[in-house]
Structure 1
Amino acid sequence: MGAALTRYRVIAWIVGVVLILLVVIGMPLKYGFDEPVVVETIGPAHGFLYMVYLAAAFDLSRRADWSLKRMALVMLAGTVPFVSFYAERRVGRWVTTDTRTPQPVAG
């Protein structure tokens, strides 16, 4: 599960940074200065990277056996600026806590 967590953490940071660039730089340029080049460039990149983020979050959620609600909340974290950074930290804690917790032995 360590590799899935690493993939998720990397893509969460990338998606977070690209979304901030889009919202903080691209949107003001487009709507304030009629200069859409940043939005036209970063927008599609963010869309593609968000799909990769969804795949990584889904993969990690299946491996960690999360509830549907937790999985959906983590997936939505890539749509709000700065929230993906918070979610990345929480997910890291969830996964490391879950892997350290001894599992009951059946039988």
Structure 2
Amino acid sequence: MALGPQPSDIPLIRRTLAVFKVSSIVTGLFLLGLVVMMVTRYGFGRDIELLGPDGFLALTPKEELTGVNLSIVLLTVHGWLYVVYLACDFVLWRVAYQGARSYAFLRFLWIAMGGIVPFLSFYFERQVPREVEAIVAELDQQTTTQEASA
């Protein structure tokens, strides 16, 4: 049994890549919101309040919150979106990278950093598809070569 992706895996690789791209953008956006929240909470000592007495959005000291604490919502949503991003990264690693290259697991860990380091997920949303499409092109070429020799 050969290691790495097979030509029959191409549809799965493409579907996985599409989901990964969406998850990297959404996770990156919520990570940027989380950075804003961290600056307001730890830099200014205020949380982001939604629908409080001071209006639609306001920066309010934590002890005086009466509306929805948007800071906690951002923390929670980003945490779950990161889990989805990590799952997409893992599936993509399993179907496209594993066994194909000696550095495959390190690549998985590096891409996982995209949900932790601001702006890195946006870079991966552009870079990873290029690499995966190159792998798919190799698989297409193998299929064409096998069909021509048969």
Q: Which runs of 5+ in 2 are unaligned?
A: 1-12, 48-68, 99-103
Q: 1:91 matched to which residue of 2?
A: 128
Q: Does the residue aligned with 2:115 lie in a helix, a strand or coil?
A: helix
Of 95-104 and 9-18, the range deviating more from structure 2 = 95-104
Letter paired with 1:7: V
CA distance in structure 2 between the partners assigned to 1:22 and 1:52 by the alignment: 17
Q: 1:30 matched to which residue of 2?
A: 41
* Residues 61-72 of structure 1 mapped to structure 2, 5 A cutoff: 61-66=93-98, 67-72=104-109
Question: Does structure 1 conserve the Cα–Cα contact (< 8 Å) formed by 2:114 and 2:121?
Answer: yes
Question: Does structure 2 conserve the Cα–Cα contact (< 8 Å) formed by 1:5 and 1:92?
Answer: yes
Select the residue among 93, 105, 113 that pairs with 1:76: 113
Question: Does structure 1 conserve the Cα–Cα contact (< 8 Å) formed by 2:17 and 2:129?
Answer: yes
CA distance in structure 2 between the partners assigned to 1:94 and 1:57 by the alignment: 13
CA distance in structure 2 between the partners assigned to 1:33 and 1:76 by the alignment: 27
| Aligned sequence identity (%) | 35
* Residues 8-23 of structure 1 mapped to structure 2, 5 A cutoff: 8-23=20-35
Q: 1:7 matched to which residue of 2?
A: 19
Letter paired with 1:20: L
Q: 1:55 matched to which residue of 2?
A: 87
Higher Cα radius of gyration: 2
Tell me how far 1:32 sits from its aligned partner: 3.0
Question: Does structure 1 conserve the Cα–Cα contact (< 8 Å) formed by 2:28 and 2:114?
Answer: no
Give TM-score scaled by structure 1 length: 0.88
Give TM-score scaled by structure 2 length: 0.64
Q: Which runs of 5+ in 1 are unaligned?
A: none
Q: Does the residue aligned with 1:39 lie in a helix, a strand or coil?
A: helix
Q: How many residues align?
A: 104
CA distance in structure 2 between the partners assigned to 1:27 and 1:78 by the alignment: 15
RMSD: 1.5
After TM superposition, which residue ranges in structure 1, 4 or more long, deviate above 4 angstroms? none
Question: Does structure 2 conserve the Cα–Cα contact (< 8 Å) formed by 1:29 and 1:38?
Answer: no
Q: In proportion to residue count, which structure has more helix?
A: 1
